[in-house]
Amino acid sequence: MKLNFFLNNEETCFEIEPDALLVDVLRDNGFVSVKVGCREGNCGCCTVLIDGEPLMSCITLAAQVEGRHVETVESLGSMQNPHILQTTLVDHSAVQCGFCTPGILLATKSLLAKNPNPTEAEVRRAIDGNLCRCTGYVKIVEGILDAAAKMRENT
């Protein structure tokens, strides 16, 4: 079946199997920033935004996003033009292996779109579905809070 949706703000059409998982469809079409971790909706490294909400693409059928807006981390920034969220996390040493980072960035993007001035507790809640085995979360949270402050200054 054909899946018509918006991927990183571009009208997109993929040919898919009706029971295909979104994570596999995205990765098979080149969006390998969406990582495969647990395939059970536990680790969060497959997080994408669907209509602005963070969801686990490993337990989402691709067909569920028909007509919807899906965002991967590519919607945030690029190597040549990174988003302030990306640069700030790097500056805070909040990225080690990097496997969890795309999911955390997207969860954060969703948070800051609704709440540009979150508390630390709100940041921790927003990323409570994103496991990181490397950093211990402290620098991630600090980085997000710092990035949020910078983004507020820029607006």
Partner 1 sequence: MIERFEYPKTKEALLSLLSPEAVLVAGATALYKDAKLKTAGYAIDITRCGLDKIVVRDNEIEIGATARLKDLTVENLGNSAEARMIAATAFSIASTQIRAAVTVGGNVVHPAPWSDLPVVFYALDAKVKVETASEAFELNFEELCSNDPRKLLRGGVVTAIVVPLSKANRKMRFEKFQMTDTEIALANFAGVWTEVDGKIVDPRMVIGTLSPRPCRATNMEAALVGKAPEVENFEAAAQAAKEEIKIMPNFRMKVETRARILGVFLRRALEAAQNDAPYDRCHCSGNPILR
**Residues contributing to the site for partner 1 (CB under 8 A):** 1, 18-19, 21, 41, 44, 47, 53-56, 58-61, 63-64, 66-67, 107, 121, 125-129
Shortest CB 19 distance to partner 1, Å: 5
Shortest CB 94 distance to partner 1, Å: 18
Shortest CB 51 distance to partner 1, Å: 10
Q: Nearer to partner 1 by C-beta: 7 or 126?
A: 126
Q: Nearer to partner 1 by C-beta: 15 or 66?
A: 66
Edge-to-edge strand list for the sheet holding 69-71: 10-15, 2-7, 69-71, 47-50, 53-56
Shortest CB 67 distance to partner 1, Å: 8
104 vs 139: CA distance, rounded Å? 12
Contact 32, 95 (CB under 8 A): no
Q: Where are the beta strands (DSSP E) in the chain?
A: 2-7, 10-15, 47-50, 53-56, 69-71
